[in-house]
């Protein structure tokens, strides 16, 4: 691991990198004490591995992909070096047409691509209750958009909590009482998988004079 992060600690990276975690309540840390949410746990994970990066929490509870699209431009300030995009969960809760979700995420990724920002897209996975057609359309939009815009594609956000099972009950030990948001231990499991993906993202940040 030390060798894999060495390029981030050289003279060319004398200043800390700035990574934006852009998303909804899953990013914001809904229902958790300070320090237990995704951003602080990811920050601690990266710091423990010698990565000089500041992770900014740009999660807004309740945000849909439309909400994310409306604020992406002003979120991407000049000091931002890379971004993680984790949106779509609230679109699922509202049963929003996957075509609309696709269009909104497409707009978000156009913004990051236009600024040459390394981007990690974190998928959501549709449940089966909306029908097979809905699930197929929704699940496909993340890999399609990542390929279109040259973004990196992470593992689905909740995949670390399922243990490979398709039974939603498998996640219960890792969720808060609402059955939607990860608890502290659930977030830790997410970070175990997301952390190496973020390392790879930061490796793609090109140093500028």
Q: Which residues are catalytic?
A: 25, 178, 181
Locate tokens 């309540």: which residue?
Answer: 25
Q: Which residues, listed in sequence order, are joined to residue 23 by a DSSP beta bridge?
A: 59, 86
DSSP output for the chain: -HHHHGGGGSGGG-SPEEEEEEESHHHHTTTS-TTSSHHHHHHHHHHHTT--EEEEEEE-TT--HHHHHHHHHHH--TT--EEEEE--HHHHHHT--HHHHHHHHHHHHHHHHHTT--EEE------GGG-HHHHHHHHHHHHHHHHHHT-EEPPPTTHHHHTT-S-GGGGGGGB-TTSSSB-HHHHHHHHHHHHHHHHHHHHTPPP--
Q: How far apart are CA 184 and CA 191, in angstroms?
A: 11
């Amino acid at each position: 691991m030390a060798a894999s992060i060495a390029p981030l600690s050289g003279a060319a990276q004398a200043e800390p990198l700035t990574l934006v975690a852009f998303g909804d309540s899953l990013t914001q840390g809904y229902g958790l004490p300070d320090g237990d949410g995704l951003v602080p746990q990811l920050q601690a994970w990266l710091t423990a591995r010698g990565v000089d990066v500041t992770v900014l929490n740009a999660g807004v509870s309740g945000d849909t992909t439309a909400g994310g699209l409306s604020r992406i431009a002003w979120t991407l300030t000049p000091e931002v070096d890379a971004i993680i995009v984790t949106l779509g969960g609230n679109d699922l809760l509202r049963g929003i047409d996957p075509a609309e979700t696709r269009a909104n995420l497409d707009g978000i990724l156009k913004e990051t691509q236009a600024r040459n920002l390394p981007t990690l897209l974190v998928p959501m996975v549709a449940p089966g209750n909306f029908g097979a057609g809905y699930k197929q359309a929704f699940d496909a939009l993340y890999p399609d958009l990542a390929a279109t815009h040259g973004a990196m594609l992470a593992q689905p956000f909740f995949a670390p909590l399922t243990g490979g099972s398709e039974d939603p009950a498998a996640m219960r030990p890792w969720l808060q009482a609402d059955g939607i948001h990860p608890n502290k231990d659930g977030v830790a499991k997410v970070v175990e998988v997301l952390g190496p993906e973020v390392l790879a993202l930061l490796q793609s940040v090109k140093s500028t004079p």
